Structures are given as structure tokens and as C-alpha cells.
Structure 1
Amino acid sequence: MQYKRLEEYGAIGDGNTVALVGRDGSIDWCPFPHVESPSVFAAVLDADRGGHFAVRPTQSFESVQRYRDRTNVLETTFRTAGGSATVTDFMPVPEAVGSDDRAIGPDDWPPAIYRKLECEDGPLEVEIEFDPRFAYARDVPEIELTTDGVVATGDDERAVLSSGLPFEPASDGHGASATATLEDGETRWLVLGYGEEIPLEPSRHRETLAETVDYWRSWVHDCDETDCPVGGQWHDFAVRSSLVLKLLIHRETGAVCAAPTTSLPEDVGGVRNWDYRFNWIRDSAFTVRVLAELGHLEEARSYFELCLDHCSRHEPAEMPPVYGLHGGSDLEERVLDHLEGYRGSAPVRVGNAARNQHQLDIYGELVLAIYESVRYGEPMRSGDWPVVRDLVDYVCEGWDEPDAGIWEMRTDHEGFVYSKVMCWTALDRGIRLAEAANGVEAPIERWRAARDDVREAILERGFSEGANSFVRSFGDGDTLDAANLLIPVVGFLPADDDRVQGTIDATLDRLATDDGLVRRYEGEDGLPGEDSPFFVCSFWLVTALALAGRTEEARDRFESVLEYASPLGLLAEAVDPESGEQRGNYPQAYSHIGLLNSALSLADSTGSSDVGSSAAASPAPLGRNESLEDVASSGEIVRGTNEIE
């Protein structure tokens, strides 16, 4: 097998896990039963040893992928000289599918991949290759051929493929394969159950497909361009990004998975390969905002409660920046040296050592997420205020400490300017919450004094007159950091401030490419290899330009960045500016959150949900539509305030 470009993959999932399906019909990545579990298919990390599950014509073919409208149901259509066929891939969402004869509930529904193979123009010969490799390909299972398909049994795992096709042992001795000739209109089903068999029942499978389609369409809503907060020419990108985000929200806990893959490289052949199958706190504020703005209040509420739960589990000084999707924080980083890595990019890592880092920005992002949730109408529980108060108190005392920063530097800690900005944000939003909630105990005057100190330090030590820009860290000369584009977004300075405008212009001059891409920072980061431009930084620049009233520039750069999206509208973490290929884990929640927030900011800057419009209006930063005082006048900021001591 050969490695494919990341843009040649579509993603399917069920709220527990995600699989990547190539345009050639091969499932090359899928962990079971959860996205953070070991893989069953991992050909994307080792084309020969990783394992895959392919369905494709035996003849030379061309193929194209598309999602069924407003769903995460993927269709791959093959065309040969003699015919055509479509494979429809999906994973049933437990809440969406009706119970079968076993009368099981959603939590007991077996993880499964359904593959519907339908011939539109035949006859057409197709081949199926089924080669699972459990435990990140360390466990090659025993294969048993049955009258209904194939059973793969490992040391502690089992996968059952139901198909009704006559499988044989694969020619290379691994897995099983089959061929079949399909006539016009003929349909075959292949159903892979993890842990248990799902009997082949075509009529029931058709119902399951219809239920899955209905689920996704009901969730995303049937909004036209006039109803949607993001209308106009980018409506479809916004819909796809929201569906990607939902695909990455864990159904059991509400945690947002940063990406469903591990070790897809930022730099092909290099060592910048990380496991992103976890929940990063810093995604919280922007996730809450975008979910609430798009009307997904249940998901926003669940994530808000998850943030509060994270806060309550740890002393502020010991707050991990990243959690497992089930809430655990044991994310020991290990190397899988038996896998060669995507296109030879080693090491392949599982777990993430960033869990042990000290990152000061997370406190601002947590408090901002709580503030945003309250602003959107979600009251805090009476026991939550002491947790928030402790966070703000910690920032009040520890804001001047060096840290690893938003980019999780694996070098000596520094006084990163963005970290200080988010410390200011924690203090500022903590003060606003305390002022709006009558009767809560808070040392507001001490917080105000600390907020003033942080602000003074940032303006004096974090801004370079020579560069006319905010810089990466205190005492670091004129080195730039794209994270400082968020200064107007969190309200530290207004977007029309000369220092913000200077930071935007310096970013355009020194970190940005002509076609819209933005690198994260200048300077060394302790790792070899090239640092590719990040999608989220590119969207931050769009947002900053929109907030600054530079709408035409923002729109042009937004359009340029979107040209790098996959044919399905999916975004990885980064992009190679030379080849145009996407890089890093895929698809990436933060990239799609950045896209949605940029589109919302463009909508604000034009005064219309049609972000293709040229109408003028006054843009505003995060927290723009309704003040906390407005919320307080219509309901409680803290539920059960009188119980707080």
C-alpha cells in the first residue's frame, strides 16, 4: 500500500470513535471502542503493518467522495471503464437507531461500521480486503472464515465482519479477502461489529442508515442561508465544520476531542508527531461560543459543566491543560516504535506529555468559558462559585510565573505574552461574574489591583516599539507570536487600538503568506524540522482583521484559507505552503472552531449573517451580543446564591 494525502480521507463516527475512509475505499484508521482506544486499523501510520479494510473495484478506477447532505454519512463513488458503484459508509449513532430484537439501549449498542455497496452500472467486479490489527498492530488476530463472513480474534479483542460473501485467506497470509461481481442495481452489505456479531439483515440495515441520516440532519438543522448565523457563500463550510465538531464531541461526557488521530506529522519525515485524541482546556471558550451561536445549547451546556467539573477535581496550581475524554488525566506519552509512521514520520506517539506542563493561559480560557456560558443563559450551580473564585485567586498570585505557553514548548519556560493576556482575562471575567452575582464572596478589590498589574506588565514588557507589535514573551526582543492576534478577541484592547493594528500588520508582514496562511511564531521551539502554518492562526488573523473593521482584507484571506480545505470541507491542523498538502492530525476541532468563529466575526463586521455581504457595522469581541448585566436582570447568575458562604 501507499500513503494517501490527508485530503483524500473522509471521517465517519458515532460519538464514541471516528474512522478515516480513503477515496480508494480503504478504512485506514479506526480505534475501537473509543477514539482514544488502541487502533484496529492503522494503515495511515504504517501502510504495510497497520491494518485496513478496503472495498473497491478490481479494475482501474476513478473515485470521488461526498457526504450525504447535512450528515456524516460518507459516499465514495467508483467509476471504471465498464461500470460504477458507490460505497456508503457510516457508523450508527446509538441514540438514533431503534433497538433490535435484543431490545438493547443506546449505551449497549455495539460499536460498528456499516458499508453499503451498491452497483449503479454493471456488471462490476469488486474486491474486499479485511485485515484488522488489534492494539496498534501489535496483535495480529487469528482469522476464522464462516458462512456469513469473517471472525477476527486477538488476545483480548474480537471483530466480526458479516457479509454473506465467500471470503478466503488473504494471499499475503494476513486477514481475508473476497471478490464479487455486481449487476446493475445490486446491493451488498458489509457490517463490521466490534466485540460481537451484527447479523446480516439488509432491511434492518436500510432502516439503520435512514435513522442515522435523520439524526445528523435533525442535529445540524435545516437552516437556509437566511436563518443560519453564517449564511452566504460559506454556509456549506459552516455546516460541515459544525458536523465535524459534533463528530468529535464524546457522547458520554461532552468532552471535545482535539482530533481523532495520533502522530499525523506537522512536518513529513520529522518528529512533530503528537497524539490529539484528548480534550484540551484551551479549546473551551471558543467551543462554548460557537456551539451556543449555532443553537447547539445542549452541547454547549454539557461542555460548560465539563469545564466546571475539571476545575473542581484539582487544586488550581495542579490543573492539567489536557484530559482524557472520560475525564482521566493519566496520559503517559509512549512511543510505538514498531510502526514506521505516516510516510516515514517517526516516532508514533500515544498519550501526551503536555498533560504535565504548566500552562497559565488555561486559567483564562476556563474562566472565559464559564463567563460565556453564563452570558448565554446558563446559571452556575451554587457550589461552583468557590471553584471559580479559587481559579481567579490563583491567577491573582501566580500570573507572573513563566510557563510552557499555548504552543506547549518543550524548552525552558518563558513569560509568554499570550499567557499573561489570558491571566488578565481570568481576572477580568472573574470580576465581572462577581459583580453581576449578588451575594457571592470575592476579593474584588484585590482582583482589580492584580488585573491592573497584569495589564501594565503586558503593555510595558510585552509590546515592542521597534516591531510595533506585541511579541512572543517578556524579554524576548521582537519575536512574534500569532496568539497575540487574540488580544482584541478577549477584549484586552479594542481592535482599533494602534498597538493591535501594529500587531496585525507585523503578523501580515512576518508570519503570514500571501495566500492567507499564518505560522504560529518566530524563534526556536526546541524541535527539529519545519513548523508549518496552522489553520487556526490563519483564522485568528481573519477574525482580528474583521474586528478591526478591515473587512475586505478579512474576507479575502478567509477565502484564500478555505481553498486549502479538503474536497469534503475537512481541515487538519496545518498545511504545507509549498505543496498545499494538509499536515497534522485530521480532522482538527480547533481548525474548524477557528473557521466558525471567523465566519461569525465576518458576519458581525458586515452586520449580516451573509458574510459575503459588504454592509458595514461595528464589530465586537467575544462576549459581544449581551452583557452579563442583561443576563443578571433576567435571571440568576448563580443558582442558589444564598447558599454560598
Structure 2
Amino acid sequence: MTEIKRKIEDHGIIGDLRTCALIACDGTIDYFCWPNLDSPSIFSALLDSDAAGLFSLAPDWQDCRRQQIYLPDTNILQTRWLAREGVAEMTDYMPLCDQEDRQPRIIRRIKMVQGEARFRLRCAPVHDYARAKTHAQLRDNHVEFTAEGQPGLRLAATCELQVEGGAAVSEFTLKSGQHAEFMFGSVDDEHLDEIQTETCFRDTLSYWRNWAKKSTYRGRWQEMVNRSALVLKLLTSWQHGSIAAAATFGLPEEHGGERNWDYRASWIRDASFSVYALMRLGYVTEAKRFTKWVGRCVENSQRDKEKLQVMYRLDSGTELQESELLNLSGYAGSTPVRIGNDAWRQTQLDIYGELMDAIYLANKYGEAISHRGWENVSRMIDYVCENWNQPDAGIWEMRGEPQHFLHSRLMCWVALDRALRLGIKRSLPMPFARWDKVRSEIREDIWQNFWNAERGHFTSTRGGKYLDASMLLMPLVRFVSATDPDWIATLDAIKDKLVSDGLVRRYDMAETPADDLRGEEGSFAACSFWYVECLARAGRIEEAHFEFEKLLSYANPLGLYAEEFDYRGYALGNTPQALSHLALISAAFFLNRRLSGEDPLWQP
């Protein structure tokens, strides 16, 4: 395995609702796509070597302690160095990119809190996923970076810059109370003005704190819940209303493995769950904007007489052609590094249930559905009625032969159930008898064909033997009572087969023929939080509480979660992952109420 210079869990994230950058605890920006989250990367060192592009800035100290913290209730990141020679801190943020004519900018402010230090800076973007030859040119007090056919970039600074190869470099000394500022962004940006950047800082600080204080959550673990909400907001597109599954591409589910996917797109499933989590905390505006975005996706699909896709580009575009970046060696030598995602071609029937659940809740807590919106829903539910009994790729996007998965059946049932509830609640026209009949047929199919009497538990596939952590959603979507003996037996079987010290694997790869990729993967963060919520709903409050506290200890120092955990609880996969954070919110919300003596067993 290739040596890991900066680990996944060593990173914080900043963003401007258009794109995001990862910043390691050594002060290095080693991942950044520009100008949009799904644009080609310009800093790609995280997925290769430093030669693939980075922006490093740190004091020249050999022996120091490094820390990262967020300014409270914000996505403004501070990196701190503590040494015998003094204390230095760097503040990184991106001003909100909420105007069409603005391009994303990163502003870095390095300050000497006490003592004195010599600092080293190296800013070396490499355009187009590190495939283009980028040139650097010194102009007055800034450096411009250009590559053929690529957008121009610029680094401006309050200290003297020089050019070394394709990089901007600088060495400078700061004494106690002194600071230096840097602005990285478009070549067309205005020049660096410290008065203007101070205004940018105050505006950015104010935006995040005003957004955070709108949360209605006042329970235990408020800091972790609020951090998770801030992560979900960072992954939300100001321009389109879509919600990305994660900020990154290519980070592996196993060191040296091939399960390295691009998550810079909006999965209908993950985004729907995200809306549910945000609405629980009082963020209704995000739900409204997502509903409008997904409405455009539904209309586009039906205009082309196609089924709803599993995922869409952030701008609601339909194609996400998958390819491999052969020039990148991968994080920890994990190849291939993929961009795009061929899962957009798959059939995953569960997405109709997750989407319909989000639409139902958006109507319950927000605005009533429009006439045209209900027409779209009706066509979607008619599609489910005609296709629920088909095999598919399932929630885990198996790349083998389609199968009949329990989770897909379950969520088809949810689609019919929520559509019927919404239609009755709003007195909307619908073929009630037909929809109700199909809903009953799906329920009967699950109990008849996905219950293994010999093993005494539900199984992941029709007539199968094995388990899948997605089954943990059965009581969470109210298909089965959380205290039903048959469900408790299934929960215990999942605990025995898939759970290790509270960390839950999605499935046993040796028992899942639909997964035809080589290698292993870690434990899935979202499944681990689903497990906690299932324990709490089953009345196992003390066990749920303890397992939840353990999961909180596996967050990185900033409270961030990637997609998975390795056997030691360290991060694997793309980061930060929306599904991980929304599952944390859901588990915290329910467990807090049970610990407080409330009984929200059937509350959404």
C-alpha cells in the first residue's frame, strides 16, 4: 500500500454552496474542484502526490502540535500550530457564491498569535484533474495560472510572491500580532483588498451563524447535530437546489482497492433523506428548493419517456459518463480513480419510495403540492405499480446481475403508502383502489417471499438466506413495528452477522453474488446510525445510547464523517458523506426523545 501523507480523517472542509475544498490539518489544501463541485479538480494531491496540485501554507517548525476547529456554528475553519516558538493560526473560508456573475474564492489569513515564525507557501494548481500542463506567471503582486483550454486562476497576496516552475512560492516572517492574507480564485477577480476581505469575513461569519441558529433542535449532542446540518448545507447547491452525496471523488472503500467512486452528484435517495433530516431541524427552505429541483428531473425523465434516474448531475443533467483517470495513482494506491458514475444507467426501484417519502413530508411541514406536481407524482406511482415486481441493482448499486432485493420492495411499498396518505390528506384525485391493491400486494410479497422461516429472519433477496443492513430501514419507514418479534429476530441476526463493536457492514461480500467487484470494504457509517435508531425504537435504550456514543467517538476531530470506517474506526470512502450525517441526525433526534421520556414511536 502506498504511504498516506494526509489521511482522509485529517481533513476539514470549507465551501460556498457552489463547490468545496478539503484542508488537511497541516494547512494544505489538497483537494479542490473549480468552479463547481463537479468541475475538474485543480488541487488533486489527495488522490496522488503533491505534484498533482496543492496549496500549502504553514510555519517552518519541526516540533509543534496541530489542531483544527470550526468557528462556532460556521463552516469557517481554523488551523492552529502550537510550538515552543509561539502560536500561529490560519483562518480559511470561502465567501458565499450566491450571485451568477461571481466565481468561487478561497481566502486564507495566517496570523501570529504569539512569538515569531518563518512561513513557507506553495500554491501549485494543476488544471483538469492534473492532466493539463499549468503555467504560472508573476504579475505585480499576484500570480496567474493558465492552461490550454482551461479557466484562468490567480493567487493574490499581501506578501511578496515568486514563481518556481508552475507554482507560486513565498517565504516570510511574522511576529506576534502580524498577519498575511491570500486570495485564490478566478483570474478575473478584483485585486486583494484587506478592507474588502474583512467585510467578506464578517458577511460569511454572519451567514453561517444566522443559518445555524434557525435549527429547532435543542436536545443532547446539539453540537454534533448542528455540525451535521452544516455539512448537509455545504453539499447543497445554491444555484440548483440539489444536494450532492459527498464532496469528493475517488476516495477508496478499501486501501488499495477498486471501489473508488465519484459522489459529486445528487442521488435521489441520498438527497431525499437529506431533506428529511433538514426538515426535522426546521430547515424548510432547503426542502422547497430540492422539491423544485427534483420536479425538473421528473419532468425531464417523463418528457423523454424514461423512468426516473437513480442520480442526476447537480444541474439536473442526465448523463454522468464514467471514466478512469489513469494519470492519478489514487489515495493509498487505490485505483482506478473514477470520475462520473455509471450507476446513473441502473434501475434502482427503491428511489421512488425515498423520493415519495420526502415529498410527503415536504407537504406535511411545508407548502401543499401543486397541481402539476401531483400529476408528476401520479405518473411516477403508476410506474411503480407496473414495475415493483422487477429485479434491480438495489440500494448498494450492485454491478452484477439484477436481483429481487428486499429493500427495493420495501421502498416501493413506501412509495404507494405515502402517495395514498398524501392524496387522502390533500383530497387529491387518484386511483385509490388500484394503488391500495398494489400496496397490499407488495406487503404480502415481502412477508411471503422475503421471510426465511428456517432461519427465523427476513432476508435481503427473494427466497434468499442472507442479511443486508438496508433491512434496518424496515421499522424506520414504518413497514413493521420496531417491537414486532419477527423484526426483533431480524435485528438480532444483523447484530450477530454484520455488527462489530457497533460498526455495521452493509452485507457479507462472500454471500452476495450480485457484488462482483474484487476486494473488501469497511463498515458503513449510515448503517451504523440506523442500527442505533433501531435499537432505540426496539426499547433497548441503554444499548442504543452506548453504541451511539461510540459512533460519535469515530468522527474526525471536526465532527466529520466519511462514507465508511475501517476495522479501527478510521475513515474510508468519499468525505464528508451526506448519508452518514443525515443518519446521525435521525438517530440523535429519536434517541434524545426516548432518553427524555417521550415516546415518538410513530412520529416522522
Identity of aligned residues (%): 39
Matched ranges for 1:602-613 at <5 A: 602-606=591-595, 608=596
Task: Work out whether residues 44 and 54 of structure 2, in 8 Å CA contact, stay in contact via their aligned partners in 1.
Answer: yes
Q: Does 1:619 align with 2:574?
A: no
Query: 1:108 is paired with a residue of what secondary structure?
Result: coil
Matched ranges for 1:437-452 at <5 A: 437-438=426-427, 440-452=428-440
Q: Distance in 1 between matches of 2:366 and 2:341?
A: 35
Matched ranges for 1:84-483 at <5 A: 84-95=87-98, 106-155=99-148, 156-170=150-164, 173-221=165-213, 228-232=216-220, 234-315=221-302, 318-438=307-427, 440-476=428-464, 478-483=465-470
Q: Distance in 1 between matches of 2:447 and 2:104?
A: 53
State the AA in 2 paired with 1:564. Answer: Y
Task: Work out whether residues 42 and 125 of structure 2, in 8 Å CA contact, stay in contact via their aligned partners in 1.
Answer: yes
Task: Work out whether residues 469 and 506 of structure 1, in 8 Å CA contact, stay in contact via their aligned partners in 2.
Answer: yes
Residues 363, 318 of structure 1: alpha-carbon distance in 2 compared, 3 angstrom cutoff: same
State the AA in 1 paired with 2:132. Answer: D
Superposed CA deviations along residues 343-363 of structure 1, whole A, max 9, x for unmatched, are 110101100000000001011
Task: Work out whether residues 162 and 197 of structure 1, in 8 Å CA contact, stay in contact via their aligned partners in 2.
Answer: no
Q: CA deviation at 1:317?
A: 5.3
Task: Work out whether residues 217 and 281 of structure 2, in 8 Å CA contact, stay in contact via their aligned partners in 1.
Answer: yes
Matched ranges for 1:522-537 at <5 A: 522=508, 523-524=511-512, 525-537=515-527
User: TM-score scaled to structure 1, two decimals?
Assistant: 0.90
Name which of 41, 66, 69 aligns with 2:43.
Answer: 41
Q: CA deviation at 1:203?
A: 1.7
Q: Distance in 2 between matches of 1:117 and 1:285?
A: 39
Task: Work out whether residues 230 and 603 of structure 1, in 8 Å CA contact, stay in contact via their aligned partners in 2.
Answer: no
Superposed CA deviations along residues 81-116 of structure 1, whole A, max 9, x for unmatched, are 322211100000134xxxxxxxxxx22223100000
Q: Distance in 1 between matches of 2:425 and 2:85?
A: 70
Query: 1:243 is paired with a residue of what secondary structure?
Result: helix
Q: Distance in 2 between matches of 1:191 and 1:52?
A: 14
State the AA in 2 paired with 1:164. Answer: T
Superposed CA deviations along residues 387-429 of structure 1, whole A, max 9, x for unmatched, are 1111111111211100000000000000000100111111111
The equivalent of 1:628 in structure 2 is: none
State the AA in 2 paired with 1:528. Answer: R
Q: CA deviation at 1:573?
A: 0.1
Q: Distance in 2 between matches of 1:112 and 1:195?
A: 11
Task: Work out whether residues 424 and 451 of structure 1, in 8 Å CA contact, stay in contact via their aligned partners in 2.
Answer: yes
Task: Work out whether residues 63 and 79 of structure 1, in 8 Å CA contact, stay in contact via their aligned partners in 2.
Answer: yes
Q: Distance in 1 between matches of 2:166 and 2:19?
A: 25
- After superposition, the CA RMSD in angstroms is 1.5
Query: 1:179 is paired with a residue of what secondary structure?
Result: strand
The equivalent of 2:86 in structure 1 is: 83
Task: Work out whether residues 109 and 182 of structure 2, in 8 Å CA contact, stay in contact via their aligned partners in 1.
Answer: yes
State the AA in 2 paired with 1:565. Answer: A
Q: CA deviation at 1:222?
A: 7.1
Q: CA deviation at 1:528?
A: 1.0
Q: CA deviation at 1:378?
A: 1.9
Q: Distance in 1 between matches of 2:214 and 2:277?
A: 18
Superposed CA deviations along residues 543-574 of structure 1, whole A, max 9, x for unmatched, are 11122222211111111111110000000000
Q: Distance in 1 between matches of 2:539 and 2:282?
A: 26
Query: 2:238 is paired with a residue of what secondary structure?
Result: coil
Q: Greater CA deviation, 313-322 or 503-512?
A: 313-322
Q: Distance in 1 between matches of 2:506 and 2:109?
A: 42
Q: Does 1:550 align with 2:547?
A: no
Query: 2:191 is paired with a residue of what secondary structure?
Result: coil
Superposed CA deviations along residues 151-178 of structure 1, whole A, max 9, x for unmatched, are 11111221111113232333xx331211
Q: CA deviation at 1:201?
A: 1.1
Superposed CA deviations along residues 310-348 of structure 1, whole A, max 9, x for unmatched, are 222213852110011111011000100000010110101
Name which of 75, 90, 97 aligns with 1:72.
Answer: 75
Q: Distance in 2 between matches of 1:114 and 1:467?
A: 58
Q: Distance in 2 between matches of 1:79 and 1:550?
A: 44
Q: CA deviation at 1:458?
A: 0.4
Q: Distance in 1 between matches of 2:68 and 2:407?
A: 40
Task: Work out whether residues 274 and 578 of structure 2, in 8 Å CA contact, stay in contact via their aligned partners in 1.
Answer: no
Q: Distance in 2 between matches of 1:137 and 1:368?
A: 41
Task: Work out whether residues 91 and 109 of structure 2, in 8 Å CA contact, stay in contact via their aligned partners in 1.
Answer: yes
Q: Distance in 2 between matches of 1:222 and 1:475?
A: 47
Q: Distance in 1 between matches of 2:299 and 2:538?
A: 37
The equivalent of 2:504 in structure 1 is: 518
Q: Distance in 1 between matches of 2:230 and 2:426?
A: 35
Q: CA deviation at 1:601?
A: 1.4
Q: CA deviation at 1:195?
A: 3.7
Task: Work out whether residues 219 and 589 of structure 2, in 8 Å CA contact, stay in contact via their aligned partners in 1.
Answer: no
Q: Distance in 1 between matches of 2:152 and 2:496?
A: 55
Q: CA deviation at 1:512?
A: 0.4
Task: Work out whether residues 214 and 283 of structure 2, in 8 Å CA contact, stay in contact via their aligned partners in 1.
Answer: no
Superposed CA deviations along residues 7-50 of structure 1, whole A, max 9, x for unmatched, are 11000000000000011010000001000000110100111331
Structure 1 segments, 4+ long, off by >3 Å, are: none
Query: 1:7 is paired with a residue of what secondary structure?
Result: helix
Stretches of structure 2 lacking an aligned partner (at least 5 in a row): none
Task: Work out whether residues 149 and 164 of structure 1, in 8 Å CA contact, stay in contact via their aligned partners in 2.
Answer: no
State the AA in 2 paired with 1:442. Answer: M
Q: Distance in 1 between matches of 2:171 and 2:271?
A: 48
Task: Work out whether residues 230 and 600 of structure 1, in 8 Å CA contact, stay in contact via their aligned partners in 2.
Answer: no
Superposed CA deviations along residues 469-522 of structure 1, whole A, max 9, x for unmatched, are 21110022x2101111111111111111112111211111110012x1100012
